[in-house]
Chains A and B, each alone.
Chain A
Amino acid sequence: MTATVPPKAPVFLGLPTAPRGVGHLRGTESFPDAARHELRNGQLRANLGHATATIRGKRAGVVAEVPDWEQLRAAGKAIKAATMARLDEHLVSLERQVTARGGTVHWARDANEANAIVTALVQATGTTEVVKVKSMATQEIGLNEALEAVGLDVFETDLAELIVQLGEDSPSHILVPAIHKNRAEIKEIFARTIPGVDPELTDDPRQLAMAARTHLRERFLRARVAVSGANFAVAETGTLSVVESEGNGRMCLTLPQTLITVMGIEKVVPTWTDLEVFLQLLPRSSTGERMNPYTSTWAGVTPGDGPQEFHLVLLDNGRTAVLADEVGREALHCIRCSACLNVCPVYERTGGHAYGSVYPGPIGAILSPQLTGVEDNASLPYASSLCGACYEVCPVAIDIPSILVHLRAEHVEAQQKPTAEALAFRSLARAMSHPWLWHLVQRGARLGRLIARGKPTLPSVFPPPISGWTRSRDLPTPPTRTFVQQWTEEHGK
């Protein structure tokens, strides 16, 4: 292909993707290579199998008791599509409302800019400690690393995030970042890293949760700055919301003097009424509860109640590039419930780390490559069997399988040189469109019976590049007679 031929891949209109060298959207190795390491970890597979089976059961139970679930899903999908179609207008409205109620709105083109804004805001308060509510957006941009780089102490307060932070680990699930750890491993991390922890600590989940409560209590009470994400932001009223379980979110949203919220631009919803849909869809899809224990909402600043200084950082970081793709933009509808991870047969076996991004599982496989540009996460659109379970459980009905196929096509069409796979299929297409050649190939394939030695599948003895295909797929042993031969024998030509 020469440089003068226009690319066939969907045009991104030059909109910038998330920058390299910051944040956590790219892994160090491809999905198949990472998956190979992870699959060897028997403990990980046992932990994930147990956890995902538990949450699948709970979700199915509470979804089944809602008679209008499908209507809610359809409404959720429509609200998100309508929001994206007027995203600029809703963001401007949100900005106006938040500002009118005493908040300050900042815009960030990418991760670096968002990190710089938050760092400067924290430094301006003169504090050295920041408490954090679990937030995917701040994980995505690597905010903790940016704050630590200037000497600030950052404390994750969600239990699972705390486990990940204390274990110097990385999150592997959207909802339960430490899902890959079992109770015994968590007990070990706490015993090793929490100063003054009860030496009698056992691996009972209740005791572990109490240890986290004691560890964080003082921090909450003395914290002067908190950083949060947002699940939803209402454009017409300026209402932000955080959906959580433990109360760590409420501590951060209530006690410090200053609150900084970092929110992806796609989290805006047009009206207060729209929340009646998402507050039904999210908890049941996420933790499998009818409602999560705590949902907090706030609009700007309320005198005498909660933080008296509020900053909202609106983050692009590749989202507008996703928006430019008419098929792929549906990935921006995601409300981060993680139901698609829990039902995915690939995620259940490999775990979240294999995806190399803070967004793992099926949604990650369509979101990460779009945020970074598909060339930086080229293996992720293939990290799926396309079984469709993710689409079925998605509370806003994102057609994940179709977007996966769309991104695969985009990746293939962007190749400058033909791949071995493309060459093989081109040859196959040629053979299949010429009967004499096809019969010759079939006759030749019968030689495969020699190496099959009577087994139903061929052994994987092929050299590269064929081994790239056969390593993870069985090739059936060729039959003694083909269908055409049988037909000719029974019916004549």
Chain B
Amino acid sequence: MSAREEVLARIRTALGEDRAPAPAVVRDYRRAGDSPADAALLALLVDRVEDYRADVLRCGPDEVGATVRAALDRGLGEGWTPGTVVVAPGLDDDWRPDGCDVDDDRPAVQLADRAAAVTAVAVAIAETGTLVLDGSPTCGRRALSLLPDCLVCVVTVDQVVAGVPEGLARLDPVRPLTMISGPSATSDIELQRVEGVHGPRQLFVVLAG
């Protein structure tokens, strides 16, 4: 018998001939439903993201480009070189600072020598301060939001949802998803949180609208 057949047979033996019906799952936890984000929800998102020691910059819908530049000023210091910044291929042209490089199909490891990356997000979850990138052209491939040490993510207000259930409901589970809650961190030494290990050590969120 193959290992597959044997493991499946063991499971059937373990559960017995007349197995009990699977118990019903009661979902009476909060599932707020998808509704447009109000000011309180946006404030919650800002609070939660800042709690992870990420920086949030708010701006109007027409000021994204300038605000992305301001975030890069903070992260890289004023006078940064545009060529060291790489942006997701589908990022809105107005959001991309002049002279920045657009990610293409170069080997992923070449992104490691870039100082910063700029991407959009698919969803932002307010209650947990989580940004979700889904590998679409506006979010870029996974390595883009991983290798450069400074990450700038642009969130528009229509992408903000209340909780984890609303967030997952908007996502496509077969896409490669990356959920980001603050800069990379570890608690492995005496359970004291230290921000910045292998992922970007700096995270900036531009919240537009």
Contact = CB atoms under 8 A, between A and B. Distances in A.
Interface of A: 13, 15-16, 47, 50-51, 54-55, 58, 67-68, 71-72, 74-75, 78-79, 81-83, 85-88, 91-92, 101, 106-109, 113, 157-160, 163, 176, 178-179, 182-183, 186, 205-206, 208-210, 212-213, 216-217, 220-222, 234, 237-239, 245-248, 250-251, 253-255, 265, 272-277, 279-280, 283, 287, 289-300, 302, 304-306, 314, 316, 320-321, 323-324, 329
Interface in B27-84: 27-31, 48, 51-52
Contact of B20 (A85, A159, A276): A85
Contact of B112 (A85, A158, A221, A275): A221
A210 B184 CA distance: 12
A166 B183 CA distance: 26
Given A209-B188, A213-B198, A316-B7, 10 more contacts: A72-B29, A81-B23, A82-B24, A108-B3, A109-B7, A205-B192, A209-B186, A254-B108, A306-B176, A320-B7
Contact of A13 (B13, B178, B200): B13
B93 interface: no
A293 B199 contact: yes
Interface of B: 2-4, 6-8, 10-15, 19-31, 48, 51-52, 105, 108-109, 112, 125, 127-130, 135, 141-143, 146, 163-165, 168-169, 173-192, 194, 196-200
Contact of B181 (A81, A239, A289): A289
Contacts of A186: 189
Question: Chain B contact residues: over half helix, strand or loop, or mixed?
Answer: loop
A195 to B, nearest CB: 19
B191 A159 contact: no
Contacts of A210: 196
B177 A297 contact: yes
Nearest to A84: B15
Contact of A176 (B7, B23, B183, B188): B188
Contacts of A302: 135, 175-176
Given A54-B192, A205-B189, A220-B198, A107 B174 contact: no
A459 to B, nearest CB: 40
A92 B8 contact: yes
Given A247-B184, A250-B142, A250-B198, A205 B190 contact: yes
Contacts of B146: 247, 250-251, 254
A299 B174 contact: yes
B197 A88 contact: no
A254 B183 contact: no
A298 B141 CA distance: 12
A78 B26 contact: yes
B143 A254 contact: yes
Nearest to B203: A293
A15 B29 contact: no
Contacts of A107: 2-4, 6-7
B176 A293 contact: no
A77 to B, nearest CB: 9
21 contacts: A74-B26, A79-B25, A87-B11, A88-B11, A107-B2, A179-B191, A186-B189, A209-B188, A239-B174, A246-B199, A254-B142, A255-B109, A272-B173, A279-B179, A280-B164, A293-B180, A294-B179, A294-B181, A295-B177, A297-B177, A305-B143
B184 A75 contact: no
Nearest to B143: A254
A197 B3 CA distance: 46
A101 B174 contact: yes
Nearest to B200: A247
B43 to A, nearest CB: 16
A253 B22 CA distance: 33
Contact of B176 (A216, A222, A298): A298
B135 A305 contact: yes
